[in-house]
Structure 1
Amino acid sequence: MDIEDVAITGDMIRLGQLLKYTNVAESGADAATIVASGDVRVGGEVETRRGRQLVKGDVVEIATPQGTTAYRIA
């Protein structure tokens, strides 16, 4: 599985914002649905909080019908 780096300018980004930024979700409501489905993992653990704060080095995996996509906060 390839991991795509996502550069952030501040100290953190929220999970919902990351999903929108990477075009996984079209809106905040869409991001909430994706996270609530249990298809998102942060550091290998299922994450159900759209507001979860992600910091540099965190790896987010999203399971989709096309396969798993992974992003590392850089």
Structure 2
Amino acid sequence: MSIRDVEISDESIRLGQFLKLAGLAEDGAHARTLIEDGEVTVNGREETRRGKQLVPGDVIAVLGEKARLVSRLS
């Protein structure tokens, strides 16, 4: 499975925001549902906190899609 890089302009972002930005969730409600249903992993571990702070290098997977967080500041 390929991993695509998703660039942000800050040093960190919350998981729910990242899911929307990366196109892994349609909106905030969809992101919340995916997280609550156990469909989201961060670095291979299930994550249930929508507000989890992600940092560059984190790999987020949702329903077979993977995205890696990359910061423009790095």
Partner amino acid, structure 2, of 1:53:
Q
TM-score between both structures, scaled by the size of structure 1: 0.88
Distance of 1:27 and 1:6 partners within structure 2: 17
Structure 2 counterpart SS, 1:60? strand
For these two proteins, the number of residue pairs brought into alignment is 70
Question: For residues 40 and 61 of structure 1, what CA distance do their matches in structure 2 show?
Answer: 6
Corresponding residue of 1:34: 34
* Identity of matched residues, %: 49
TM-score with structure 2 length normalisation?
0.88
* 2:68 corresponds to 1:69: no
Q: Which runs of 5+ in 1 are unaligned?
A: none
Structure 2 gaps of 5+ residues are: none
| Residue 44 (structure 1) shift | 0.6
Residue 8 of structure 1 pairs with residue 8 of structure 2: yes
Partners of 1:61 and 1:23 lie apart in 2 by 12
One-letter amino acid of the structure 1 residue matched with residue 60 of structure 2: V
Distance 1:29 1:51 in 2: 13
1:24 Cα offset (Å): 2.2
